[in-house]
């Protein structure tokens, strides 16, 4: 099977989902080409990209004649097709839990995503105080993270997994804005942020706001 891989991401490199797929490929040690898509110019709606992505979103992975969008699907595909560092726990219940965390972070907590955009994370912006709706989402996020993380662990499970990146990013929307976050959770997010694969994404060149 060919190892020719292209990853289509947003041109600004601020999408949390592009980041997740980028980190997954990097952790697998796979050579891949990054192709940027200008979402602000609606390049994702152009026929060629729409046919390739199907969902017309980023990221999209192209592997030979196969293309796949949606970051968690990309991570699962990479883990099943390629050797290298596992992206998910081997134990079935932990693997299911990691997928649960990913699905939840992608489908819920919209007020946090709206009021603490990834521009806080990647451009150092500072946002005004949270609305009541966003604070309620924050309370749910922090309560869930406290339950998910064992008191003596730097990862969700015994070994790092791709869900750690997704959870750390959501927490860092708050931490990097100066919002109150329990020290243990802030330390977890900071620890995950220091992974070389994550730093490669953080250090990507971005055009000025």
Check if the beta carbon of residue 58 is closer than 8 Å to that of residue 9.
Answer: yes
* 9, 162, 203 from 71: Cα distances, Å: 11, 10, 20
Q: Name the more confident of 153 and 125.
A: 125
CB 24 within 8 A of CB 87: yes
Domain boundaries, the chain: 5-86, 92-195
Helix (H, G, I), strand (E, B) or coil at 151: coil
pLDDT per residue as tens digits for the range 29-75: 999 999 999 888 888 899 888 888 899 999 999 999 999 999 999 99
What is the architecture of the domain spanning 5-86? 3-Layer(aba) Sandwich (3.40)
With CA atoms as reference, report the closest residue to 170 among 133, 115, 125.
115
Residue with tokens 């946090």: 112
DSSP 110-122: HHHHHHS-HHHHH
* CA separation for the pair 201, 155 (Å, rounded): 20
The CATH code for residues 92-195 is 1.20.1050.10
- pLDDT at position 2 over 50: no
Nearest to 84 by CA among 20, 32, 162, 29: 29
Question: What span, in angstroms and rounded, lies between the C-alpha atoms of 183 and 193?
Answer: 15
Confidence tier at 3 by pLDDT (50, 70, 90)? low
Residue pair 9/191 in contact (Cβ under 8 Å)? The answer is no
Q: How high is the pLDDT of residue 150?
A: 84
Between 51 and 97, residue with greater pLDDT: 97
| Each residue's pLDDT tens digit, 12-31 | 999 999 999 999 999 999 99
Position 153 scores a pLDDT of 86
What end-to-end distance do the CA atoms of the chain give, in Å? Answer: 41
How distant, in Å, are the alpha carbons of 93, 122, 169 from that of 119? 34, 5, 12
Q: Is the fold of 5-86 the same as that of 92-195? A: no
* The pair of three-digit structure tokens given for residue 117, joined into one six-digit string: 């955009």
> Which residues are CB-neighbours of 93 under 8 A, at least 6 positions away?
none
Tell me how far apart the alpha carbons of residues 95 and 158 are, in angstroms, rounded to a whole number. 12
* 123 close to 209: Cβ distance less than 8 angstroms: yes
- Model pLDDT, residue 1: 43
Q: What is the largest distance, in Å, between two alpha-carbon atoms of the chain?
A: 51
């Amino acid at each position: 099977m060919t190892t020719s891989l292209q990853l289509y991401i947003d041109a600004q490199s601020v999408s949390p989902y592009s980041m997740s797929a980028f980190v997954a490929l990097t952790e697998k040690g796979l050579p891949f080409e990054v192709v940027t898509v200008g979402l602000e110019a609606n390049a994702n709606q152009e026929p060629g990209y729409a046919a390739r992505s199907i969902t017309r979103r980023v990221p999209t992975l192209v592997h030979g004649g196969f293309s796949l969008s949606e970051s968690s699907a990309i991570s699962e595909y990479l883990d099943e097709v390629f050797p290298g560092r596992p992206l998910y726990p081997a134990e079935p219940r932990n693997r299911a839990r990691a997928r649960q965390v990913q699905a939840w972070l992608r489908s819920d907590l919209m007020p946090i995503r709206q009021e603490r955009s990834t521009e806080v994370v990647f451009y150092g912006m500072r946002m005004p105080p949270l609305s009541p709706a966003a604070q309620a989402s924050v309370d749910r996020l922090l309560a869930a993270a406290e339950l998910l993380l064992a008191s003596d662990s730097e990862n969700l499970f015994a070994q790092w997994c791709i869900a750690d990146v997704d959870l750390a990013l959501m927490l860092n929307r708050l931490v990097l804005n100066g919002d109150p976050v329990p020290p243990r959770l802030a330390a977890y997010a900071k620890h995950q942020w220091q992974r070389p694969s994550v730093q490669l994404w953080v250090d990507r060149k971005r055009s000025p706001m």
